[in-house]
């Protein structure tokens, strides 16, 4: 329950400070969700405890800053470090506990990517098939003509803006259609699927990388239609069960019950760490090959030119976006899953390092907090080499 002395979170304000710290770990109390069932045989991590709180991390202005200071400055709720497959550091803040779920926002996209990879490997889905083949409801001059390969790399060229600073951006209409906020203006869509079916192609878009959460929601819808199974069931069967997850996860659904593949997953820090370690280990975890190894390898590559042409190289000069992952360096395969308000998975294959961070930052996107978080991961990598 919420403390009556604190600002009260509700379905309209849960994404905004000061309500988001409580709201992000209590989504199931505020919004409709579907359950992603935990594994019947939970996996336990080995531990090799190491106190990293005092680790030196360079601040943005060159000031001395410790890892503990970075975690505080970046509104961290939970932080876990895996090295050589063992937990070496784990911290919780602001009421989050090891068995409390927390929304992971767009880190959900990278989880859905894994599911798509499994279905492609089984020939249930084809990367070069258009979404309209599976979903005839989609516009022929919109998402219906986009291949799954282009959806995975966010190169759909559909007319949709996700500019969080532009009140006129389609993002706000979509979020409202999904039941995540009040409607900013009238829109005929009754839910997520209705909204996706309205989006046309943008003839001025050259189909380079452009971040659109709606691309992921089409992928989630395709997966459901092709298998005849609910997305929460697919995630439980294909990922949460073989990963040995210890806790049920939640998946936000829209007012009509459609699951939000792009950012609706709520899970515990350790279960997200299981997913991270699997990707670090080329799709293998808990004694079995869960994701196809070649799929995981493709997630660490990508088209640098398509990434560069829309100006995304400021943080990642050798970067790309591939199969719902941010590739920081296509030479080394260092990559991230990122979500607004500070959610992150950081993978460094060369150091066998995975860092998982859950946060409640006040702003959806803040470049300085992301840079600080990445610097902390790099400092950890240098220490644990």
The separation between CA 374 and the C-alpha centre of its own chain, rounded to angstroms, equals: 16
Are 329 and 316 in contact, with CB atoms under 8 Å apart?
yes
Judge whether 359 counts as a catalytic residue. no
* Per-residue model confidence (pLDDT) at position 4: 66
33-384 under CATH 3.30.750.24, yes or no: no
- Band (293; pLDDT cuts 50, 70, 90): very high
* Per-residue model confidence (pLDDT) at position 325: 98
Share of the chain above pLDDT 70, in %: 99
| Range 214-219 average pLDDT | 98
Sign of CA dihedral 10, 162, 225, 237: negative
Say whether 353 sits in a helix, a strand or coil.
strand
Please check the confidence at residue 62 and state whether its pLDDT lies above 70.
yes
Catalytic residue from among 39, 106, 110, 360: 106
- Band (310; pLDDT cuts 50, 70, 90): confident
| Range 84-104 average pLDDT | 97
* Per-residue model confidence (pLDDT) at position 59: 80
- Band (183; pLDDT cuts 50, 70, 90): confident
pLDDT in tens, 137-172: 999 999 999 999 999 999 999 999 999 999 999 999
Please check the confidence at residue 1 and state whether its pLDDT lies above 90.
no
The better pLDDT of the pair 385, 167 is held by 167
* Per-residue model confidence (pLDDT) at position 107: 98
Instruction: Give the E-state strand segments of 68-140 in sequence order.
Output: 76-83, 86-92, 102-103
- Band (127; pLDDT cuts 50, 70, 90): very high
| Range 315-328 average pLDDT | 97
Say whether 61 sits in a helix, a strand or coil.
coil
* Per-residue model confidence (pLDDT) at position 185: 87
pLDDT in tens, 8-51: 899 999 999 999 999 999 999 999 999 999 999 999 999 998 89
Single out the residue of 282, 310, 307, 309 nearest to residue 318, CA to CA.
307
**In this predicted structure, which of 5-14, 68-77, 244-253 has the lowest mean pLDDT?**
5-14
């Amino acid at each position: 329950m919420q403390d009556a002395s604190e600002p009260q979170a509700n379905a309209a304000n849960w994404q905004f400070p000061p309500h988001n710290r409580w709201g992000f770990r209590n989504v199931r109390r505020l919004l409709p969700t579907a359950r992603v069932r935990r594994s019947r045989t939970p996996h336990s991590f080995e531990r090799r405890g190491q106190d990293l709180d005092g680790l030196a991390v360079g601040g943005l202005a060159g000031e001395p800053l410790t890892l503990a200071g970075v975690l505080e400055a970046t509104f961290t709720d939970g932080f876990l470090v895996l090295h050589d497959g063992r937990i070496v550091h784990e911290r919780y803040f602001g009421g989050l506990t090891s068995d409390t779920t927390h929304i992971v926002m767009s880190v959900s996209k990278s989880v859905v990517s894994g599911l798509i990879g499994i279905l492609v490997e089984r020939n249930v889905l084809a990367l070069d098939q258009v979404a309209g083949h599976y979903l005839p409801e989609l516009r022929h001059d919109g998402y219906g003509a986009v291949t799954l390969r282009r959806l995975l790399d966010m190169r759909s060229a559909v007319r949709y803006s996700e500019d969080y600073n532009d009140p006129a951006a389609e993002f706000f209409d979509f979020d409202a259609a999904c039941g995540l906020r009040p409607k900013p203006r009238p829109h005929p869509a009754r839910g997520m699927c209705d909204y996706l079916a309205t989006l046309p192609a943008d003839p001025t878009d050259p189909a380079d990388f452009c971040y659109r959460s709606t691309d992921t929601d089409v992928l989630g819808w395709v997966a459901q239609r092709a298998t005849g199974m609910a997305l929460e069931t697919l995630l439980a069967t294909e990922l949460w069960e073989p990963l040995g997850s210890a806790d049920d996860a939640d998946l936000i659904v829209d007012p009509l019950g459609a699951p939000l593949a792009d950012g609706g997953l709520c899970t515990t820090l350790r279960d997200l760490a299981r997913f991270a370690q699997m990707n670090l280990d080329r799709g293998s975890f808990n004694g079995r090959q869960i994701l196809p190894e070649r799929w995981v390898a493709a997630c660490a590559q990508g088209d640098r030119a398509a990434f560069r042409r829309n100006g995304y190289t400021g943080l990642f000069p050798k970067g790309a976006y591939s199969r719902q992952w941010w590739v920081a360096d296509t030479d080394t395969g260092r990559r991230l899953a990122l979500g607004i308000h500070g959610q992150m998975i950081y993978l460094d294959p060369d150091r066998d390092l995975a860092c998982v961070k859950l946060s409640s930052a006040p702003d959806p996107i803040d470049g300085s907090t992301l840079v600080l978080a990445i610097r902390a991961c790099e400092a950890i990598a240098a220490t644990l080499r």
